[in-house]
Amino acid sequence: MKVTDGVYAYPWTNMMENNCNTYVLQGEGLILIDPGLNKYVPNILDAMKQDGLNPDEISLIINTHSHPDHLDGNAYFIDTDVKMTMHEEEEKFLEKIGKEFFSMFGLTDPRYRVDFFCNEGDLQENGISLKVVLTPGHSPGSVCLYWPAKETLISGDVVFSGSIGRTDFPGGSGPILKQSIEKISALEPAYLLPGHNELVEGKEEIKKNFDFIKRAFFSYL
């Protein structure tokens, strides 16, 4: 579904399974963010076509982090020339510890490439200028993606509508997540697109959401 010009969301609505929300950014080509579980990628591509997007125009997959419910679907594109990226710290984590998550999920080892690192700073693709913000705490190399031209923040599993990412997985840290949340709340987006559950739209609503999160969770982190 279209969120705003150039921004499309494919939210996961089935509570019985832990897939993630996938997002597509449209410029001169498409960027796919967090493809989710491999077995559901065809559903996303179908939904994109319904929205008038051509999946053949995907040139880059950005992984906000390496947890299986976000990363597994990279496998679908492994034999294509679609580029794949994640933060340098996240790839290190995935290689050392993160792969164990895949067997815990009943999945085989992840199939992915890292064509370049998605480190903090500017990322340009298809005429789209994104700011990559390093936001560890849920996972050591988690990133959020901010598209200033669209005031759109893709927050991975850092914050959700009314909630925050878990910090009890290996490589997680409550105090570090708190700093990451402070960092992204300063961006004042108009669209907050989290890795799970509902989207949050409107600057006021998003500010309220950050205020709620700080009140409800910060004393425990």
Binding site for Zn ion (CB under 5 A): 67, 157
Q: How far is the CB of 67 from Zn ion (least distance, A)?
A: 3
Please identify, using beta-carbon distances, which residue of 91 and 157 lies nearer to Zn ion.
157
Cβ atoms of residues 23 and 154 within 8 Å: yes
DSSP state of 51: T
Compute the least distance from the CB of residue 65 to Zn ion, in Å: 6
Name the residue nearer to Zn ion (CB basis): 138 or 150.
138
Tell me the residue nearest to Zn ion as measured from the CB: 67
Please say whether the beta carbons of 161 and 123 come within 8 A. Answer: no
Give the Cα separation of 30 and 58 in Å (integer): 4
Provide the minimum distance between the beta carbon of 213 and Zn ion in the complex, in angstroms, as a whole number. Answer: 17
Burial 179-201 (b: 16+ CB within 10 A, else e): ebbeebbebebbbbbbbbeebbe
Judged by CB, which is closer to Zn ion: 189, or 194?
194
Structure tokens at 36: 């989710």
Nearer to Zn ion among residue 82 and residue 94 (C-beta): 94
CB of 114 to Zn ion, least distance (A): 18
